[in-house]
Structure 1
Amino acid sequence: MRKKKRRNMGKDRWKNRRGPVWGLLGLLIFLTAGGYTAGHYGQSGAWPWQKEQAAAPLAGNAVTAVEVLDVGQASSMLIVCDGKAVLIDTGDTDSGSTVLSALKKYGISRLDLLILTHAHADHIGGASAVLAQVPAEQIWMPDVEASTGVYNYLLQQAERQDIPVIQPEPGTVWGTEHGRLEVLAPEKEWLGREIRDADEAGDAFDYNDSSLGVRFDCGDFSLLCYGDGELPTEKQLLKTGKVTADIDVLIVAHHGSSNASGKELLEAVSGGRPGDIAVISAGKGNSYGHPTEKVLDRLEDAGFRILRTDENGAVSFQVDAEGGFDVCTDYK
């Protein structure tokens, strides 16, 4: 087992966006950068920030910002590193405006990479609205057959906009000077409709275990995200040898469903030492009961600090070049 790295002061400094410290910091950043261009979305189809790619509002010595957006019972996460932007999932069909607002905040007029972990609408539903205003250099998504209207329309839109759609294999890497993102799953044999076994809830294959699993690193900071992947996906991730105790942030899979976040993976990430952060994207009062008490208990037993978008709002991390980071939430 790898030794858990020491956390610097940034890793234990919690902030609330509505508090005075964040408000003053945000104001100083805004004034220093000259602020965003005032205006409204016009007939030309260009958003105000699209004239020039602005620098992301990074605090202090941060080189990377990671934000788990509050998109209800859906998922979307933005990574901004060295002026490059990666969007992982886009929420549901009603999430487009939330995602676009986040892109505006960080001054993003073009995505360097859009990762769609799998074909469910609560992960890809906002993609069409986003791409209509903020195009992407490329799209990564698993190799599955299009079987829904939302999925088919997305593929057609990518073709119209001449955006390459790539089915990355494990080991595929995207990177910048300070950041590195690597695909860890799924293995080829788990792609597409070969995944047919019922899960613990009795549901047949529904794309969950075709979810792309990725690890992002910036200095000593590491984050693991694997969409709606469940226990079969977690077995694949563990086989890579890259789900280890140096991971700081776990994006909890499938909104906290009991079919994911197995004990083996949680223990591999925590390394038996408390302090790692688990972020759950779930809608307030959702009909699925996510996150389940079973998963919350597993996370607590493994020593994770739990942050939830249904309780804390959006969760963001400001990461410096060495990997020290601050955590900020909309609500305590």
Structure 2
Amino acid sequence: MRFWMFISACFLGLLISSPSAEAGKEDGHLDIYFIDVEGGAATLIVTPVGESILIDSGYPDNNGRDRDRILETIKLAHLDHIDHAVVSHWHVDHYGNHATLSSLIPIHNFWDRGIPDALQEDKNFDTRIADYRAATQNQSRTLSAGDHFELDSNGTPLSVTVLTSSRNVIPNTGEPNPFASESEEQPRDETDNACSLSLLFEFGDFRFLCCGDLTWEIEAKLMTPNNPVGTVDLFMVTHHGLPTSNNPVLVKAIDPTVAVMCNGPTKGGHPDSIATIQSCQSLKHLYQLHRNVKVDADAQTPAEFIANSEPTVNCDGIGVKASVRPDGSSYTVQIGHDGKPIEYQSRER
């Protein structure tokens, strides 16, 4: 089953076909699983034809905690392999289990922003990237800002566009951004967070944005003076909800209906980021994977929209799932595998 076909003809020969896991996809929905990896990131997307995309893979070690939570989610999604594993950027809480997972379940394709020669903020980078190179057999593929892919979807158009990669952004076209003046200048971020991939998924009218750990400066570069992204329905809150990201110039301009924050008990979920998200005009609900145990309850989303309330030692690792109707007209979000779904309407495009 073909996946991600580059619009640019020069890349067509790079794609590899891979069979889909059809089990569990008779309903034709687009499913998005936000996996609790304790303040890291791991998001599993399963398309209407059963094609699977794993974006990031949480922390290594911790007795295999994040690895096992990812594998359990893969099992719940009735998958026996991963078609595409994506690394948003080279921090260990985002690609820590790619190599280990590849030894336990087939991964057909690896995608990233390109592998740097060194990473000053990680003294163990040489060892970790060697493991990643071995897992990918040095065949990982680089995603660049502006790359656009059409995905198989049984009818309703499904695509993904790369908005940012390695500090580069798509052209700043579109309508003037009314929130451009809210982007206060901050010092240049020299870490790999600023190099994060940002991916915009579109399924009919439904739009989902995931920006890894993209930081303030590049968010502003993407979104000023114009808004080339438009609005979205579902937003994965950037950088676990830390205030070095979630620039109002981006968050308010995309104006999500629903946001999901992949924070931990003590990492992310910062009151400033939460306040920015909650100021969005169209926001109906913010979901948090964790209650921030260091922040007062009134500075967080209501308790019924928090998946895990206990510190790490007692955490059940409950995730959040979004499921989009086959025509893209609406979607549900629920906490946990058996949680009660809440329905939301996609914006008409």
TM-score, normalised relative to structure 1: 0.71
- 1:138: Cα distance to partner? 2.0
Match of 1:253 in 2: 238
Match of 2:14 in 1: none
Q: Which residue among 227, 231, 243 is the counterpart of 2:216?
A: 231
Q: Which has the higher helix share?
A: 1
Match of 2:229 in 1: 243
Letter aligned with residue 207 of structure 1: D
1:100 aligns with 2:71: yes
Letter aligned with residue 227 of structure 1: G
Write the mapping of 1:167-182 to structure 2, written as runs, cut at 5 A. Answer: 167-178=142-153, 179-182=158-161
Deviations 1:247-306 (A, max 9, x none): 101111111111111111122111xxxx7111101112x1x4x21111111111114221
Unaligned runs of 5+ in 1: 1-51, 191-198
Contact 2:55–2:88 under 8 Å retained in 1 = yes
Match of 1:79 in 2: 45
Question: Following the alignment from structure 2 to structure 1, what is the Cα–Cα distance between the partners of residues 96 and 104?
Answer: 15
Match of 1:276 in 2: 257
Match of 2:100 in 1: 129
Match of 1:89 in 2: 56
Query: For 2:322, what is the secondary structure of its paired residue?
Result: strand
Match of 2:117 in 1: 145
Change (3 A) 1:237 1:140: farther
- 1:211: Cα distance to partner? 0.4
Letter aligned with residue 71 of structure 1: V
RMSD value over aligned CA atoms?
Answer: 2.7
Contact 1:76–1:88 under 8 Å retained in 2 = yes
Tell me: higher relative CO, structure 1 or 2? Use CA pairs within 8 A at least 6 residues apart.
1
Change (3 A) 1:230 1:120: same
- 1:177: Cα distance to partner? 2.4
Query: For 2:208, what is the secondary structure of its paired residue?
Result: strand
Match of 1:68 in 2: 34
- 1:229: Cα distance to partner? 0.5
Question: Following the alignment from structure 2 to structure 1, what is the Cα–Cα distance between the partners of residues 136 and 248?
Answer: 43
- 1:230: Cα distance to partner? 1.0
Would you say how many aligned residue pairs link Structure 1 and Structure 2?
263
Work out the percentage of aligned pairs sharing the same amino acid.
21
Match of 1:222 in 2: 207
- 1:122: Cα distance to partner? 0.7
1:322 aligns with 2:327: yes
Query: For 1:137, what is the secondary structure of its paired residue?
Result: strand
Question: Following the alignment from structure 2 to structure 1, what is the Cα–Cα distance between the partners of residues 106 and 190?
Answer: 31
Deviations 1:196-250 (A, max 9, x none): xxx95x79622010000110111111111111101122124326854212x1011
TM-score, normalised relative to structure 2: 0.68
- 1:154: Cα distance to partner? 4.2
Question: Following the alignment from structure 1 to structure 2, what is the Cα–Cα distance between the partners of residues 250 and 172?
Answer: 20
Letter aligned with residue 151 of structure 2: T
Match of 1:308 in 2: 288
Query: For 2:69, what is the secondary structure of its paired residue?
Result: helix
1:185 aligns with 2:164: yes
Deviations 1:7-66 (A, max 9, x none): xxxxxxxxxxxxxxxxxxxxxxxxxxxxxxxxxxxxxxxxxxxxx9753535x8442111
Change (3 A) 1:170 1:128: same
1:165 aligns with 2:140: yes
Contact 1:216–1:223 under 8 Å retained in 2 = yes
Deviations 1:132-191 (A, max 9, x none): 11232222212323434356434444435536211211122343223212211026658x
Q: Which residue among 272, 275, 278 is the counterpart of 1:297?
A: 275
- 1:97: Cα distance to partner? 0.9
